[in-house]
Amino acid sequence: MATANIEKKQALRRRQIMERAAAAFNQFGYEGVSIANLASTLGMRSSNIYYYFDTKEVLLRDCYCDSLDTYAAQLAEIKQQSASYQEIIRNFFSFHFRTWHEVHTSVKPPLAMIYEQHLLSPEAGLQVKTAFDSVQIQLGEYFQQCQNSGLLREFPHQAAADFLHAIFDWGTVWTNRIHSPEQISKISEINSDVYLNGVATHYESQLLSELRHLDICEQIIQRAASLEGQAPSKDAISCAATRLFNTQGYEASSIDRICTEVGLTKGAFYHHFKDKNALLKYAFRQAFTFDRYLYQEVVQHAKNGLDAIKLLVQLDAMTIHNQHIQLPLFRLINKLAPEDISVAIQEVDDNRKRFMEFVASGVQDGSMRGGSSSVIAHCYFALKQRTLRFPNPIGSYAESTLDEAWDIFFHGTLKRNA
C-alpha cells in the first residue's frame, strides 16, 4: 500500500511538472525556459525536477509526446464513437478547438504547442516523430478506407494531414482571442466544413498546376523585392535573422549567429539595429508593407474572388522561395516589445479583413461557397504559416505544382457527389 501511495504521488508530481513546463515552453520557448525558474514557480528545487527528467530536452520531449498521445487517443475514441467520416472530422475539429479554448481559459491544464521539435537531438526527435506518426497513421488508414469506398476523392494523404495540422497549429494560438464557447463551436464547424468541402464552388482538377498568373506573379514579386531593397545591408540582416527566427526560434537566434549567417560584424549589426528586438520589429514592418503591396496588386489583376485567392497562393509560394524576401511567422509577434505587439496584431487583422473582402466577393460572384469569411481567412493564414515553417523545395514554378495541401483548401476531401 505504501509503495502504491508513493508511486501515485510521484505520478502526480511528474504531471504537475509537465503541465507547468508545457505552459512555460508555450510562452517563452525552449531557450527562454530554465529549470531553475521552472522549479521556483513550482516551489521546489531544480534537483526535484531532475529526479523525474534527466535534462530540459527530455522534459520538452515528454511534453510533446504527451500532447501527441492525447490527440492519438482522442482520435481513436472518436473513430469508435462516430458513424461517418464527416462526423469523425467534425468531432475531431471540435475536440481540438474546444480543448485549446479550455486551455486558454484555464479550464483544462496546458498542453505543449509543438513548435520547436527541430531543437531536439535526433534520438529525442525520433521519439516525438513516433508519437506524431501515431496520429498520422490513423488518419492515413482512414483516408484510404474512405477512398476505397468511393466517399473521398483522390488526394495525397500527407497533403490532407498537413492541412489539418496547419489548422490545428494556428488554432492553438487563435483561440486565445475567442471567449465564447458558442463562437468556438461555430469556428470548429466552419473549419471542418472547409476541410470536407473546400472553398471553391466548382472542382478544377489542374487548379494549382495550371494557374494563369505565373508571369504576373513573377513581375509582382520582382517589383515587391525592389521595394524591400532600399537598404541592402539592413535588409540582408533582416532576411538572415528572419530565416533563423522562423526555423530555430527567436531565443536560439543570437546576434552572433545572425552576424555569422549574413557575413557582417557585430559593429555593422549595431549600426542598423540597437538590439535583436528592434530587428524583429523591422522585419515585421517590412513584411506588412510587402503584404499590403501584394493585396493592391491582386485587386488589379484578379477576375473574381476565387481568382484573387489563387493569385495570393501563387504569390505566397514564390515569396517563400525568394532568397531576398523573408516573412516572419505570426507567432513571433509575442516576442516584440509590449508597445509593438498591439500594432502588429492590428496589421494582421487588417490583412485578414482584406482577405475576407476577397471571400465575400467570391461568394457574391459565385466562384466560392458560402461560409464565414473570417474562418476561411483562418484556414488560409493557417496553411500559409505552415508553409513558411516547412517550405517544400520546388524547381521551376511552371513545371511544379504548388503544395498539394492547398488543393484540400480549395476542394476539400469529399467527392463532390458524396
CATH classification at residue 41: 1.10.10.60
Please give the pLDDT value at position 173: 72
Higher pLDDT, 75 or 182: 75
Assigned domain for 155 exists: no
Higher pLDDT, 205 or 43: 43
Supply the mean pLDDT for the chain. Answer: 86
Of 324, 344, 368, the residue at which a domain comes to its end is 368
Would the pLDDT of 71 be above 50?
yes
Would the pLDDT of 400 be above 60?
no
Model pLDDT for residues 107-129, shown as the tens digit of each residue: 889 999 888 888 899 999 999 99
Please give the pLDDT value at position 395: 42
Q: 411: closest CA among 253, 216, 105, 201? A: 201
Residues 2, 225: contact at Cβ < 8 Å?
Answer: no
Q: How far apart are CA 320 and CA 406, in angstroms?
A: 15
Would the pLDDT of 398 be above 50?
no
Assigned domain for 80 exists: no
In this structure, what C-alpha cell is assigned to residue 339? Answer: 508597445
Assigned domain for 297 exists: yes
Assigned domain for 204 exists: no
Give the number of other CB atoms < 10 A from CB of residue 244: 19
Mean pLDDT of 132-153: 93
Model pLDDT for residues 369-382, shown as the tens digit of each residue: 877 788 899 899 98
Assigned domain for 273 exists: yes
Q: How far apart are CA 305 and CA 129, in angstroms?
A: 39
CATH code of residue 285:
1.10.357.10
Assigned domain for 333 exists: yes
Q: 262: closest CA among 217, 324, 304? A: 324
Band (277; pLDDT cuts 50, 70, 90): very high
Q: In this structure, is the dihedral angle defined by the CA atoms of residues 52, 54, 55 and 61, taken in order, positive or negative?
A: negative
Would the pLDDT of 24 be above 60?
yes
Rounded to two decimals, what is the model's pTM? 0.86
Residues 366, 201: contact at Cβ < 8 Å?
Answer: yes
What residue numbers bound the domain in which 329 lies? Answer: 214-368
Q: In this structure, is the dihedral angle defined by the CA atoms of residues 391, 397, 401 and 406, taken in order, positive or negative?
A: positive
Count of the separate structural domains present in the chain: 2
Assigned domain for 397 exists: no
Mean pLDDT of 49-76: 96
Q: 75: closest CA among 92, 99, 94, 100? A: 92
Please give the pLDDT value at position 362: 94
For residue 79, the one-letter residue type is K
Of 368, 385, 402, the residue at which a domain comes to its end is 368
Model pLDDT for residues 209-221, shown as the tens digit of each residue: 445 556 677 777 7
Q: In this structure, is the dihedral angle defined by the CA atoms of residues 22, 27, 28 and 29, taken in order, positive or negative?
A: positive
Model pLDDT for residues 216-271, shown as the tens digit of each residue: 777 777 776 665 555 678 888 999 999 999 888 888 899 999 999 989 899 999 99
Of 21, 38, 53, the residue at which a domain comes to its end is 53
Lowest-confidence region among 80-94, 167-181, 292-306, 382-396 = 382-396
pLDDT > 90: percent of the chain = 51
Assigned domain for 385 exists: no
